[in-house]
Structure 1
Amino acid sequence: MVISVLCVVLITFVSLIFVGKKIKRSKWNHPPTPPKFPVIGNLHQIGEQPHKSLQRLAERTGDVMLLYLGSVPVTVISSKEAAEEVLRTHDLDCCSRPKLFGSKLISRGFKDIGFTPYSEAWRERRKFLVRELFCLKKVQSHRYVREEECNLLVKKLSESAADGSPVDLSKTLFWLTASIMFRVGLGQSFQESKYIDKDKVHELLFEAQTAQASFLCSDFFPFAGLGWLVDWLTGQHKRLNDVFFKLDALFQHVIDDHLSPERSKDHKDIVDLMLDNIFVAGIDTGAITIIWAMTELAKTPKVMKKLQDEIRDCLGNNKERITEEDIEKVPYLNLVIKETFRLHLLVPLLLPRETMAHIKVRGYDIPPKRRILVNAWAIARDPKLWTNPEEFNPERFIDSPVDYRGQHYELLPFGSGRRICPGMAMGMATVELGLLNLLYFFDWKLPDGMTHEDINTEEVGTLAIVKKVPLKLVSVRVH
């Protein structure tokens, strides 16, 4: 009899707790969710370019929406106002990262600064890299590298201009940014290295970025090892491991070179300072921006002419070499770069965040451990914020306070808050100087038989969005 009474009391107590939790949860104002299927949730609605799929879903569902990617709930942010709440108001409460399988492997157990969850170790690594590589003083100290590599670029393009053959700017500009980053970050000459396959490095970095941003079943069906099995059967794990081993081999060569007693110690770089924490540098992000800028300028020759006229009027006609001091003399260049960022964000879906506490965004409840995706691409093309958002029009930024440094939430090429890209200053220096050299020394024409309407602007990629078809233009040396 006593046992029966105890059982009834226990069952009643547990039931009250369960009902209490249900009542409490029912009071939450969850974001709206588009219709979903059992098990897979909304995964079937995510196409090859998730930023575009999510924009279309948000137009029907709302600027804060809740998706179920497999068994994992994800909150998607698609408006300036909601992004500001996440990235500024609640920055500290949602500045961590989810532990994704691809990121864990490529970053050797979350030892990078991009995908690592928020922690004391992450803060220390970020402080170190900012102090030793990314701070303004360090960026300025490497200006000679950027100027030398841009000067070499001009010489190579001048040789191509002599025979009038089209230049593959996609490959050429990747080699420029790779040359700069290898010298600054790894102490290596990209062009002279004996162990770097120059034609395959671009492919390797694209594979690494894709691996880190891929939608793996392991991340969305974590229960009972089912997701891992699917990834193994589909070959996803093999692809990830192949990328890891290729990167590992590249970094091992760099480390061995730095440990060699014959190596000159005249130049201290990031590997000298921290051999046990190598990072995947954002080598191609600068190249991607310059390529998209040149693509849009080639499609809109009036804008290209206006920019080139301003550059040549401000700098004169007899410069043999462009320096970084020349950048500030050409304000229209900054407008062109802003508009390029708006139309072609480096990372259209900002790297995923994860909440560390319960927050409210636009009145909706978002619990702890919830993944958040900010669709910066959708915000940058929001017709409520931008007139004719699909048009390339740098003059929209004349007398506009909007900038790209993370304080204006309608334009977020580098993110914002604690997880803003620490390499912004270094990347911008490369983009500005690279474009200035291309547009001062050369006129650019389309290959025979092409019109401006023929220039292809298709995109490919998941993390960084690149031009699908290489940009090929004919260079004409004018200075």
Structure 2
Amino acid sequence: MLFSIIVASSSLILVYAWWALIAARSSAQNHLPPGPPKLPIIGNIHLLDKMAPHRNLRNLARKYGPIMHLQLGQVSTVVISAPRLAEEVMKTQDLRFADRPTTTTSQIFFYKASNIAWARYGHYWRQMKKICTLELLSVKKSRSFYYIREEELTDLLKFLDSSCGTPVVIRHQIQRMMNNVVSRATLGDICKDRQYILDSISTMFQSFNSFHMFNYYPRLGFMNVLTGKKAGWLKLQKGIDVILERLLEEHRRMSSSGSTQDRNEDLIDVLLRIQKSGDHDLPITDDNIKAITLEMLTAGTSSSSMTTEWVMTEMMRNPEIRKKAQAEVRAVVKGNRVTEADLQNLEYTKLVIKETLRLHGVPILVPRECREDCTVGGYHIPAKTMLLVNAFACATDPDSWEDPESFKPERFKNSPIGFTGSNFEFIPFGAGRRICPGINFGMGAVEFVVANLLLHYDWKLPEGVKPEDIDMREITAISTLPIAPMHVVPLQPQLSKST
């Protein structure tokens, strides 16, 4: 028995040594970026932390360099962790890295990846990106949904008014409001199955994490069939598709009857109008419209609510910052609601949100794929290599930021650094051709909610909880969330003065 164990262990050691030697020689011959030693079959998968992979990757980059090669199962991957290299791949060589890798889930849920985030780079993507930027998510269109934010805010304030003095889980209320705002703006008020779609999207999120095991072995796609995962995804997508198909028909029927003129144009109305006009080079199919619709729902509901929750979490952890932002809001806003004009004058509150995005924005950008052989940072990057840009590592780069781990909104005061993709030490929405087109919509929603929460209520932690007790650990999917939902106590301003 002991002899068998020794033989088996020796065999494993020999296999590992052989694999490591082959991998090292291959990397040296191809002049790939440096990286940690790779195990047989799994490569570097064992080095990733599912809870916070962006932190693990940042730690590895500090050891192996700001451009690093990982072998994630069958997928050759390069990780970028420094602003100067992020600029090289998203500006200088942006076209070479403008593609997306093909994933099973993007093919299933987004109608053969015909949404904007996952579509392959080409004529179709350029056409839909232009439509999205000029029609769907322009500043003017985003402002046209202000009435929806107002109505949903009223419901949120009613709940908080009834809960004053008692602890609430603010996450649930923020998610509900953001979900309703985005879904109403996208689907309109005629959708009776809005909650089903939102629940389905929540399930979808679990399959879009870049670090799910099934993404590491694309040539073993049959395993998704054997395990039943693919059947589950197809069933989920079918349920969503039935509802979206019915929604398109309802919108068309209302448009032909002229009743669309009696209501505000939602995003499906816009897409159907553009489809009907025929004023584009490539035809827009119903599946394309459904893919874009789903994208608006998934991207809009998750990022806005997560950012708002992190803003509140950081302000509760830093009471002086919260008081300063609150004083500004109450000095600027003259009525009982924050207006669009008010938002433009909330300088410090905007700094708080920017600093939140620096530390808690999307940590790893949507993967890119190299379209052709090229050189980055002096290293050879073969075509089809997956590229991951660690935005969190860039946002906490000690060469770019003073005291990068601390929450200091003042660092952005009088600073030219913005989040529109021109400053690569701060890229929460990405940069280059594939920058997120929903910046105006998302930021408008976050600023509106945060300002109103500061205007209407004072906030304190539950009895016995101190700011330093707040759990700042993260759980990561597409973006990050505090691992434990924070409990806070809303107080009417006059009540808080007497407590």
TM-score (norm 1): 0.86
Aligned counterpart, 1:212: 208
Aligned counterpart, 1:9: none
Aligned residue runs from structure 1 range 150-229, under 5 A: 150-161=153-164, 164-188=165-189, 194-197=192-195, 203-215=199-211, 219-223=215-219, 227-229=220-222
Question: Percent sequence identity over matched residues?
Answer: 36
Q: Does 1:241 align with 2:234?
A: yes
Aligned counterpart, 2:327: 309
Aligned counterpart, 1:290: 308
CA change 1:216–1:172 in 2 (3 A) is closer
**Counterparts of 2:465 and 2:442, CA distance in 1:** 32
- 1:206 Cα deviation from its structure 2 partner: 3.2
Structure 2 residues not aligned, in runs of 5+: 1-24, 273-285, 495-499
Q: Does 1:123 align with 2:126?
A: yes
Aligned residue runs from structure 1 range 42-191, under 5 A: 42-48=44-50, 49-161=52-164, 164-188=165-189
- 1:387 Cα deviation from its structure 2 partner: 2.5
1:339 to 355, 372, 376: 355
Matched letter for residue 116 of structure 1: A
Aligned counterpart, 1:273: 270
**Counterparts of 1:106 and 1:260, CA distance in 2:** 26
- 1:90-135 deviation per Cα after TM superposition (whole angstroms, max 9, x unaligned): 1111111011111111111111111111111111112222222111
SS in 2 for 1:76: strand
Matched letter for residue 221 of structure 2: W
2:33 to 14, 31, 34: 31
CA change 1:25–1:458 in 2 (3 A) is closer
CA change 1:254–1:469 in 2 (3 A) is farther
Q: Which moved more, 1:240-249 or 1:113-122?
A: 240-249
CA change 1:127–1:348 in 2 (3 A) is same
- 1:76 Cα deviation from its structure 2 partner: 0.6
Q: Which moved more, 1:465-474 or 1:57-66?
A: 465-474
- 1:117-165 deviation per Cα after TM superposition (whole angstroms, max 9, x unaligned): 111111111222222211122222323332333344333322322xx22
- 1:256 Cα deviation from its structure 2 partner: 4.7
Matched letter for residue 158 of structure 2: K
- 1:367 Cα deviation from its structure 2 partner: 2.2
CA contact (8 A) 2:45 2:71 kept: yes
Q: Does 1:432 align with 2:447?
A: yes
CA contact (8 A) 1:147 1:324 kept: no
What's the Cα RMSD here?
Answer: 2.4
**Counterparts of 2:158 and 2:258, CA distance in 1:** 29
SS in 1 for 2:489: strand
- 1:298-345 deviation per Cα after TM superposition (whole angstroms, max 9, x unaligned): 0111110111112212335xx122111101222001110111001101
Matched letter for residue 322 of structure 1: V
CA contact (8 A) 1:286 1:427 kept: yes
SS in 1 for 2:206: helix
Matched letter for residue 427 of structure 1: G
SS in 1 for 2:208: helix
Structure 1 residues not aligned, in runs of 5+: 1-22
- 1:269-321 deviation per Cα after TM superposition (whole angstroms, max 9, x unaligned): 221233511232221211111100000100111110111112212335xx122
Q: Which moved more, 1:207-216 or 1:54-63?
A: 207-216
Aligned counterpart, 2:458: 443
SS in 2 for 1:38: coil
SS in 1 for 2:415: coil
CA contact (8 A) 1:76 1:375 kept: yes
SS in 1 for 2:79: strand
**Counterparts of 1:253 and 1:179, CA distance in 2:** 20
Matched letter for residue 206 of structure 1: S
CA contact (8 A) 1:150 1:433 kept: no
**Counterparts of 1:246 and 1:62, CA distance in 2:** 45
Aligned counterpart, 1:13: none
TM-score (norm 2): 0.83
CA contact (8 A) 2:355 2:409 kept: yes
**Counterparts of 1:218 and 1:446, CA distance in 2:** 41
2:338 to 316, 322, 338: 322
CA contact (8 A) 1:93 1:355 kept: yes
Matched letter for residue 121 of structure 2: Y
CA change 1:124–1:330 in 2 (3 A) is same
Aligned counterpart, 1:255: 248
Matched letter for residue 305 of structure 2: A
Aligned counterpart, 1:17: none
**Counterparts of 1:71 and 1:252, CA distance in 2:** 37
SS in 1 for 2:418: coil
SS in 1 for 2:221: helix
